[in-house]
């Protein structure tokens, strides 16, 4: 341990705790311990023991639900009501991983289909892929960690998890709960560093068989290009999620979900609603209703139960988002809302018709901003929605089945929500970015598949002494 990392509250930058950072010697020790756990097959845990540890950890987390929610609100800036939901999801995610083990197995491979395959019986079994390195993001500092390490523990992979520098505390305390639940340290270790070179060494070490990365596309795709031969990976990045509002949509019912999708956690969500395409027949009414609801959002200290929108994670992120808003307004967009009550807090804003080349139209904002554009023809809106080099989740609001299905079929997205916001997710559904937005499929059952590998056994019983 060579340096100290100061963890501060996202809202007011007040110090929460100082923690020791890991150095290169600590990284080597953790990798060696993980590799040793994998190599010593007699120490592998049976599925029932892995499942029991996951269930016990879920119960321990449930007993500390209030504590973890407050910790998420402090270090990550997520409003307390949403932080509470995150803890509930994390508890459920641990149990999902344990329960998935009941269905997690191989399959029979047909034999006897040709003369050459007679007298044989073949089937597959599941084995852990190897050491997992998990590099996580700040915006869901508990639940993202669960999504990365619970599948690894479930399938029997040793896992080393690096939390985001601003939000390590939820991760460290969760790892301690696994210890309390009976998991040997070698099977789940936290690696805390603010040294990007060390993080890269973790990801690219040849002893790592699988990299789980959640964060920026620039870093994720770079790390993928540097992985050791044979290392598999899953990358989860972000996008600029589109919503299409058809002329038939009931405006009194859609404003609330759209606001939730756009301003939840101050827009710091990889599938946050960002680009809203509204049919011109209802555009003026939609903007009026959206503006009224956005202006009523309660902004402030995330620890207060009434807060709906909290801070951004760092002052430089508030600077960046504010500069993008300014650029859009300078380029002709109309601004509704806005303002900066503190160095990390932005008042939610709406940009009406920003230019196509504005950053807010081309890039992921990751802040409390939505952009509204009018359209006349549905295919025109779909073409613009599909025009960016990344794609994740999308939405269409309509009471007519024709436009809803046409948009659902033609939007370039891994998931299309009909009459719901783009940020909807359950933890057992597949979750994946397309193109530059990601690689591989997340979601606990899918991650378990990715972190395992099949081995086929072929038994020849014809004439070789095996009786049937």
**Would you say domain 3-237+437-456 falls under CATH 3.20.20.100?**
no
Which sequence positions are flagged as catalytic?
236, 270
**Tens digits of pLDDT across the chain (468 residues):** 458 999 999 999 999 999 999 999 999 999 999 999 999 999 999 999 999 999 999 999 999 999 999 999 999 999 999 999 999 999 999 999 999 999 999 999 999 999 999 999 999 999 999 999 999 999 999 999 999 999 999 999 999 999 999 999 999 999 999 999 999 999 999 999 999 999 999 999 999 999 999 999 999 999 999 999 999 999 999 999 999 999 999 999 999 999 999 999 999 999 999 999 999 999 999 999 999 999 999 999 999 999 999 999 999 999 999 999 999 999 999 999 999 999 999 999 999 999 999 999 999 999 999 999 999 999 999 999 999 999 999 999 999 999 999 999 999 999 999 999 999 988 888 888 899 889 999 999 999 999 999 999 999 987 665 555
- Those residues with Cβ within 8 angstroms of residue 418's Cβ, 6 or more apart along the chain or in another chain: 395, 396, 397, 398, 404, 408
- Those residues with Cβ within 8 angstroms of residue 48's Cβ, 6 or more apart along the chain or in another chain: none
* Domain extents in the chain: 3-237+437-456, 241-418
Do β-strands 273-279 and 241-245 pair in parallel, antiparallel, or remain unpaired?
A: parallel
Q: 241-418: what fold?
A: Aldehyde Dehydrogenase; Chain A, domain 2 (3.40.309)
Residues listed for the chain? 468
- Those residues with Cβ within 8 angstroms of residue 64's Cβ, 6 or more apart along the chain or in another chain: 173, 177
Task: Record the pTM.
Answer: 0.92
Cα–Cα–Cα angle for 32, 36, 39, rounded to 5 degrees: 140
């Amino acid at each position: 341990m060579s340096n100290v990392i100061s963890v501060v509250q996202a809202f007011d930058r007040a110090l929460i705790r100082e923690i020791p950072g890991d150095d290169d010697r600590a990284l080597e020790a953790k990798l060696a311990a993980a590799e040793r756990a994998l190599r010593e097959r007699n120490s592998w845990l049976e599925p029932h023991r892995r499942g029991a540890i996951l269930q016990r950890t879920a119960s321990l987390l449930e007993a500390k639900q209030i504590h973890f929610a407050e910790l998420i609100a402090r270090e990550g800036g997520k409003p307390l009501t949403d932080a509470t939901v995150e803890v509930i999801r994390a508890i459920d995610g641990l149990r999902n991983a344990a329960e998935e083990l009941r269905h997690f197995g191989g399959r029979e491979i047909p034999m006897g289909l040709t003369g050459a395959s007679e007298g044989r019986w073949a089937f597959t079994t599941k084995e852990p892929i190897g050491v997992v390195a998990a590099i996580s993001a700040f915006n869901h500092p508990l639940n993202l960690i669960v999504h990365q390490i619970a599948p690894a523990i479930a399938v029997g992979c040793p896992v080393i998890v690096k939390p985001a520098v601003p939000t390590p505390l939820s991760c460290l305390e969760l790892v301690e709960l696994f210890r309390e639940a009976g998991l040997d340290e070698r099977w789940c270790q936290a690696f805390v560093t603010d040294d990007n070179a060390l993080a890269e060494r973790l990801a690219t070490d040849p002893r790592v068989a699988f990299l789980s990365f959640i964060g920026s596309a620039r870093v994720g795709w770079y790390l993928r290009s540097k992985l050791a031969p044979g290392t598999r990976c899953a990358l989860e990045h972000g996008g600029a999620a589109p919503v299409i509002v058809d002329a038939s949509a009931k405006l009194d019912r859609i404003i609330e979900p759209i606001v939730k999708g756009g301003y939840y956690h101050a827009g710091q969500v990889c599938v946050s609603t960002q680009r809203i395409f509204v049919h011109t027949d209802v555009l003026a009414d939609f903007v009026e209703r959206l503006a009224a609801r956005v202006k009523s959002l309660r902004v402030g200290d995330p620890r207060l139960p009434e807060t709906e929108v909290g801070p951004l994670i760092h002052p430089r992120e508030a600077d960046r988002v504010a500069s993008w808003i300014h650029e859009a307004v300078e380029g002709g967009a109309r601004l509704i809302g806005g303002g900066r009550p503190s160095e990390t807090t932005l008042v939610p804003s709406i940009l009406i018709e920003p230019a196509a080349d504005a950053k807010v139209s081309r890039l992921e904002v990751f802040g409390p901003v939505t952009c509204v554009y009018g359209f006349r023809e549905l295919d025109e809106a779909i073409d613009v929605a599909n025009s960016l080099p990344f794609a994740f989740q999308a939405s269409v609001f309509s009471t007519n089945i024709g436009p809803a299905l046409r948009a659902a079929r033609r939007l370039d997205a891994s998931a299309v929500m009909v009459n719901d916001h783009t940020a909807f997710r359950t933890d057992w559904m597949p979750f994946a970015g397309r193109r530059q937005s990601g690689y591989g499929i997340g979601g606990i059952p899918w991650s378990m598949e990715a972190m395992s590998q099949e081995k086929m056994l072929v038994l020849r019983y014809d004439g070789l002494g095996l009786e049937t």
